[in-house]
Amino acid sequence: MRTIQGPAIFLAQFVQDHPPFDTLDSLARWAADLGYVAVQLPTWLPQLFDLTLAAESASYCDDLRARLAKHNLVISELSTHLQGQLVAVHPAYDLLFDAFAPEAVRGRPAERQQWAVAQLQLAARASRNLGLAAHASFSGALAWPYLYPWPQRPTGLVEEAFAELARRWLPILQAFDESGVDLCFELHPGEDLHDGITFERFLSAVHHHPRAAILYDPSHMLLQQMDPVLFLDHYHSRVRAFHVKDAEFQPNGRSGVYGGYQPWIDRPGRFRTPGAGQIDFKRIFSKLAQYDYPGWAVLEWEDPLESAAEGARKGAAFIRDHIVHVTDHAFDDFAAANSDTEGNRRVLGL
């Protein structure tokens, strides 16, 4: 067994246009002062990270690591959540998701997809150059508009959607394999990969590719009314990244899982700062230790009530206090009896 690494923090939700949230160096100093030992870097914010340069220049990567090392920080993973989303976009969402792409490819879905694929391939090489083992992303979605089967979906629609998703992601998975990096899909409503069953569909379609992995975020499971702890019993071998984000679900007589188009603060299901919701993180951290999870515990903060600064402050201590420092021997070793085959046979009366 291995002790989970952490605490780490995903910087995407904290970037602003004023100090200490406007540059990588000031964010690093802020995160380190809170007790974090790693950062998960978004790759779509040029003020923090140059993805193309990281893919092409070992010296840039060495310099980046040295800058973070001044604050006793390392990189846990890179993230291409926004670019990954654009690998597969249903036309109903074209206009909204254009905002995730550079202006040159907006309104051109085919060119936008090609740009997104190129971004993921750059991320594979950048992760290799930075010595990272895992990468965080989204799958995108072709079938999501047909989630609730009314009217009935045409026969074969879902199967064709996942076959196409696999065709788009297989070359990317191969690029990550060549770089020696696991590609971890965050299972998230709005993505075609949003629960265990959809991940299984995708895994089958990509021929159980060894680099197809999971970014485990229990908040999305609780809001779908799944059991986040039992999920690990099924899929622990594919979990290679972990977002520590809490959630609560309080159904009422007016709305439930779907939320009634309400803002997050009014929805029955909403994200919370770790410790403020309903997720049993004690059991989750224990399960991850039991299953020898090899990666980082990364705070992702998305609370509609609490301030980001307070969520980040609490998150570092929460993760640190929940990490199970695994044992190197059995608790009852003191009572172990030395024996051999003949002795064992005598114990059995043979």
pLDDT tens, N- to C-terminus, the chain (350 residues): 899 999 999 999 999 999 999 999 999 999 999 999 999 999 999 999 999 999 999 999 999 999 999 999 999 999 999 999 999 999 999 999 999 999 999 999 999 999 999 999 999 999 999 999 999 999 999 999 999 999 999 999 999 999 999 999 999 999 999 999 999 999 999 999 999 999 999 999 999 999 999 999 999 999 999 999 999 999 999 999 999 999 999 999 999 999 999 999 999 999 999 999 999 999 999 999 999 999 999 999 999 999 999 999 999 999 999 999 998 878 777 777 777 888 888 889 99
Contact 242, 288 (CB under 8 A): yes
For residue 335, what pLDDT is reported? 75
Containing H/E element for 290?
A: helix 281-290
Residue among 184, 183, 202, 209 nearest 124 (CA)? 183
Residue among 107, 40, 120 nearest 73 (CA)? 40
- Look-up: residue for tokens 């049993």? 280
Q: One-letter amino acid identity for 321?
A: D
For residue 98, what pLDDT is reported? 97
State the Cα–Cα distance between residues 241 and 181, nearest whole angstrom.
Answer: 12
- Look-up: residue for tokens 């021997």? 329
Residue 153 gets which letter from DSSP? P
Tokens for 44, please give them. Answer: 């779509």
State the Cα–Cα distance between residues 256 and 267, nearest whole angstrom.
Answer: 8
- Look-up: residue for tokens 């045409």? 154
State the Cα–Cα distance between residues 197 and 85, nearest whole angstrom.
Answer: 19
For residue 215, what pLDDT is reported? 98
User: Which residues contact residue 343 at a Cβ distance below 8 angstroms, ignoring those fewer than 6 apart?
Assistant: none
Q: What is the CATH number of domain 5-347?
A: 3.20.20.150
For residue 334, what pLDDT is reported? 73
Contact 219, 269 (CB under 8 A): no
